[in-house]
Amino acid sequence: MKSDIHPNYSTCEVTCSCGNTFTTRSTVEKLHIDICSACHPFYTGQMKYVDSAGRVEKFQKKYNWGARNKG
């Protein structure tokens, strides 16, 4: 392997939007993520919408979802 061409691989602090923090190893010092294993529905077993731009509401409005369920 050539010397001095590889990035520095050191410990990294990861911060989730839910407030969970943990350390891992990476080429960057700090990472900010949207979802982690502490808040992801697959790992928690709780169903919740992971919606960052109002996509669920836009879909429901587009297909008149509120009026369909009342029928």
Would you say residue 21 lies in a domain? Answer: yes
State phi, psi for 41 to the nearest 5 degrees.
-60, -30
User: Could you read off the pLDDT of 14-68 as tens digits, one per residue?
Assistant: 999 888 999 999 999 999 988 888 887 777 777 666 656 677 777 778 887 767 6
Would you say residue 14 lies in a domain? Answer: yes
The distance from CA 58 to its chain's CA centroid, rounded to whole angstroms, is 20
Longest Cα–Cα distance of the chain, Å, equals 69
Count the alpha carbons within 13 Å of 52 in the hemisphere toward its beta carbon: 5
pTM across the whole model: 0.54
Domain holding 61, by residue range, is 10-70
Q: 21-26 and 10-16: which strand pairing?
A: antiparallel
CATH of the domain at 39: 4.10.80.400
The total number of structural domains that make up the chain? 1
